[in-house]
């Protein structure tokens, strides 16, 4: 059975509140797919609709091409790793792992064997007899994964599984999760509010905001070619200039901002509708912003240096820019030379139109 997951025109409502709005997503079999979005944007809700704990108010959930309507969570080929893990505290580690086999009526001998295999897989051999709360956070995490894998799901759903771990463990578990996914070869649907996790692990990322899917793409596309103002500002760091569109062409748009006329590549797809006179934003990444040293730039703005921070391999420089009340940031690689300017200096900053993005203001317009 193939195990691609499709969400077709899915709406999920709680009373008047819309938790998911017209979601259309196609997740291929065997891929590592992430939902990325701030807390409360509806990620868990979507996942629960896939695992069968709630039915969408409208639309369909298809797994392997089969409509899942009316099929309960215990009948779906999915396994969910809960945000708080939900291990069974009254069972030992191996009983936890073998629970899905136990409810199928498989004998103890075989359950034991399978549990040991999985303990091997998650690198916790000989820990099977322990009680769950005798394990550390990272170990619990791995037991939860093993328990879900024991059910031999076609799709593994993970709800912010690393959020409770400390930074170092989190980074270690990222690689481990990715490795496990490649070893077992099943579809992983991963939820996170941490862009680092989403970008490093996933084949595809869906960025979500307030129940709406903003963009679905691979990590580098999301970073380099954000389609909406939300994606541009949520993923990675970005400097933002707001203004009105004065000119639109096939590839570029010109935005009139208090800091000056700014020319930038226009967004494609969902955020593509730019018209003259519309409210718009221009985004430029800190690493794409340069000091103007005689070289030619499509865009220039005047700025005062507010602060300079040394971060080993990088210098971070912060500016007050004329006509923009947000602090603008520039980062440059530390190549051993000293910084050309000092705090308080008045400088000119430039960037090319090709590295800047113009998006409709959209939902961020109010800010």
Partner 1 sequence: MTSDHIRKSFSILFVLIFFAYLFGPLIIMSLTAFNSSSFPRVTPWECFSVEWFEFLTKDQKLIEGLQNSVFIGLGVVCLAVPMGLAGALMLTQVRERVRPWYYTITISPILVPGVVLGISTLLFWDRVGTMFGASRESVFYNGFFLTIIGQATFISAYTMLVFISRLQRFDRVQEEAALDLGATHVQTFRKILLPFLKPAIASAAVLAFLASFENYNTTVFTIVSESTLTTFLAAKVRHGINPSISALAVVIVVLTLLGAALHEAFKRRELAAEKESARVAKGEQKSRGAQSRFLFDPTVIMILLIFTAGLGTAYFAGTIGLDECKTEVLAEKRRIVQERIKKRQQKTMFQDAGRQALTPLTQEEIKKRQAAPGTSNFQGLFSPENLEEQVGTSKEETQDAPGRAGTENFQSIFAPRNLEEQVGSEEQKQSE
Ligand X SMILES: Nc1ncnc2c1ncn2[C@@H]1O[C@H](COP(=O)(O)OP(=O)(O)O)[C@@H](O)[C@H]1O
In the complex, the residues that contact partner 1 under the rule CB under 8 A are 51-53, 72-74, 78-80, 82, 84, 86-88, 90, 99-100, 102-104, 130-131, 133-136, 147-148, 150-151
Q: Does 56 bind ligand X (CB under 6 A)?
A: no
Identify which of residues 101 and 207 has a Cβ nearer to ligand X in the complex.
207
Residues in the interface with ligand X (CB under 6 A) total: 11
Identify which of residues 42 and 52 has a Cβ nearer to partner 1 in the complex.
52
**Helices assigned H by DSSP within 52-107:** 93-97, 99-102
In contact, 291 and 347? CB cutoff 8 Å: yes
In contact, 320 and 266? CB cutoff 8 Å: no
Strand, helix or coil for residue 161: coil
Closest approach, Cβ 11 to Mg ion, in A, equals 19
Closest approach, Cβ 190 to ligand X, in A, equals 12
* Residue corresponding to tokens 């709800």: 159
Q: Does 39 bind ligand X (CB under 6 A)?
A: yes
Closest approach, Cβ 85 to ligand X, in A, equals 15
Closest by CA position to 283, among listed 355, 362, 207: 355
Task: Tell me the C-alpha distance between 222 and 207, whole Å.
Answer: 8
Q: Does 43 bind ligand X (CB under 6 A)?
A: yes
Q: Binding residues for Mg ion, per CB under 5 A?
A: 44
Helix axis angle for 137-150 and 167-184, nearest 10°, is 20
Identify which of residues 101 and 189 has a Cβ nearer to ligand X in the complex.
189
Identify which of residues 106 and 274 has a Cβ nearer to partner 1 in the complex.
106
Q: Does 340 bind ligand X (CB under 6 A)?
A: no
Six-digit token string for 88: 């069974």
Closest approach, Cβ 85 to partner 1, in A, equals 8
- For the chain, the first-to-last Cα distance in angstroms comes to 48
Among 16, 17, 133, 325, interactor with ligand X by CB under 6 A: 17
Among 8, 11, 29, 45, interactor with ligand X by CB under 6 A: 45
Closest approach, Cβ 100 to partner 1, in A, equals 4
Residue count (the chain):
367
- DSSP bridge partners of 92: 131
Among 34, 44, 192, 209, interactor with ligand X by CB under 6 A: 44
Closest approach, Cβ 86 to partner 1, in A, equals 4
Identify which of residues 47 and 321 has a Cβ nearer to partner 1 in the complex.
47
Among 41, 255, 305, 364, interactor with ligand X by CB under 6 A: 41
Identify which of residues 22 and 102 has a Cβ nearer to partner 1 in the complex.
102
Identify the helix (H) or strand (E) that includes residue 43. helix 43-51
Task: Tell me the C-alpha distance between 231 and 249, whole Å.
Answer: 22
In contact, 41 and 230? CB cutoff 8 Å: no
Closest approach, Cβ 99 to partner 1, in A, equals 5
- DSSP bridge partners of 60: 8
Task: Tell me the C-alpha distance between 301 and 346, whole Å.
Answer: 11
Decide the pairing of beta strands 155-159 and 78-81: parallel
**Residues of the shown chain interacting with ligand X in the complex, contacts defined by CB under 6 A:** 14, 17, 19, 37, 39-45
């Amino acid at each position: 059975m193939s195990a691609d997951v499709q969400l077709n025109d899915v709406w999920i409502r709680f009373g008047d509140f819309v938790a998911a709005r017209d979601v259309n997503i196609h997740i291929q079999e065997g891929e590592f797919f992430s939902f990325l979005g701030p807390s409360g944007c509806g990620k868990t809700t979507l996942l629960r609709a896939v695992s069968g704990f709630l039915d969408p108010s409208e639309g369909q959930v298809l797994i392997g091409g089969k409509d899942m309507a009316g099929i309960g969570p215990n009948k779906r080929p999915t396994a969910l790793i809960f945000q708080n893990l939900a291990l069974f505290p009254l069972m030992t580690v191996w009983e936890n792992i073998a629970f899905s086999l136990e409810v199928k009526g498989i004998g103890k001998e075989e359950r034991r064997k399978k549990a040991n295999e999985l303990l091997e897989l998650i690198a916790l051999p000989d820990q099977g007899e322990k009680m769950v709360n005798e394990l550390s956070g990272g170990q619990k995490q791995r037991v939860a994964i093993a328990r879900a894998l024991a059910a031999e799901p076609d799709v593994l759903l993970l709800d912010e599984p690393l959020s409770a771990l400390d930074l170092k463990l989190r980074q270690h578990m990222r690689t481990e999760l990715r490795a496990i996914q490649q070893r077992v070869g099943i579809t992983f649907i991963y939820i996170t509010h941490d862009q680092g996790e989403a970008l490093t692990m996933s084949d595809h990322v869906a960025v979500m905001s307030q129940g709406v899917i903003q963009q679905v793409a691979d990590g580098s596309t999301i970073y380099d070619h954000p389609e909406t103002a939300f994606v541009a500002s949520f993923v990675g760091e970005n400097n933002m200039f707001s203004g009105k569109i004065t000119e639109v062409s096939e590839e570029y748009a010109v935005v009139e901002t208090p800091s000056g006329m700014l020319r930038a590549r226009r967004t494609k797809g969902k955020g593509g509708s730019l018209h003259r006179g519309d409210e718009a934003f221009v985004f430029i990444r800190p690493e794409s912003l340069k000091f103007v040293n005689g070289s030619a730039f499509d865009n220039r703005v005047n700025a005062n240096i507010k602060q300079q921070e040394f971060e080993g391999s990088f210098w971070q420089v912060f500016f007050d820019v004329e006509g923009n009340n947000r602090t603008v940031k520039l980062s440059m690689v530390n190549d051993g030379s000293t910084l050309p300017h000092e705090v308080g200096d008045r400088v000119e900053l430039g960037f090319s139109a090709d590295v800047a993005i113009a998006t409709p203001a959209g939902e961020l317009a109010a800010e």
